[in-house]
Amino acid sequence: MAEDRIVLTPEGYDRIKQELHHLSAVERPEVRRRLGEAKQSAEDFDTSEYETAKMDQALVESRISELEDVIRRARVLEPDEIPTKEVGLGSVVKLKDLETGDTWEVRVVSSFESDPNEDRISIESPLGQAMLGKKQRSEVEVQAPGGVIKHRIMKISR
């Protein structure tokens, strides 16, 4: 059963619970309403709205099922489990691009809650793998499509 666990940060777990609530309380009733209206239209020979509503319902129900499964399997990291001496799951890492001098922060998360656009980097991504286990002031190299990018870990926090 331990292999089936999905380890999540507290923030990631909260985001999943919020999405599930929104889908269940807002999206599901709206899709059901649209499906009922479209079913009426389908009886008048317009089936395109009905087919679209059925597909939307399947997508919403599928996502609800997926999120419920994740919540059942979730193990939420306790704050003291998030490492600050070396990079690990849940760590917030301040990075410096050694070529440009730019700095930014990323949170290292499980692949399920990763979102590079929100600076939540999967522990399984090239950057996540390069940082894993490294300490503050370490340099890491990441192979990118444009070549190798070098970063320095400036700070590790929770």
SS (H, E, C) 80-142: HHCCCCECCCCCEEEEEECCCCCEEEEEEECHHHCEHHHCEEECCCHHHHHHCCCECCCEEEE
Mean pLDDT of the chain: 92
Architecture of the domain whose range is 79-157: Roll (3.10)
The whole-angstrom separation of Cα 62 and Cα 70 is 12
Amino acid occupying residue 52? T
pLDDT digits (tens, 9 = 90+) for 4-13: 889 999 999 9
Architecture field, domain 2-76: Orthogonal Bundle (1.10)
Q: Any idea where the domains of the chain sit in the sequence? A: 2-76, 79-157
How far apart are the C-alpha atoms of 22 and 17, rounded to whole Å?
A: 9
pLDDT digits (tens, 9 = 90+) for 32-50: 998 888 877 666 566 788 8
Question: For the segment 124-140, what is each residue's pLDDT rounded down to a tens digit?
Answer: 999 999 999 999 999 99
What tens digit of pLDDT does each residue of 139-149 get? 999 998 889 99
Percent with pLDDT over 90 in the chain: 79
**Domain 79-157 in the same topology as domain 2-76:** no
Give the pLDDT confidence of 64-98 residue by residue, as tens digits: 999 999 999 999 999 999 999 999 999 999 999 99
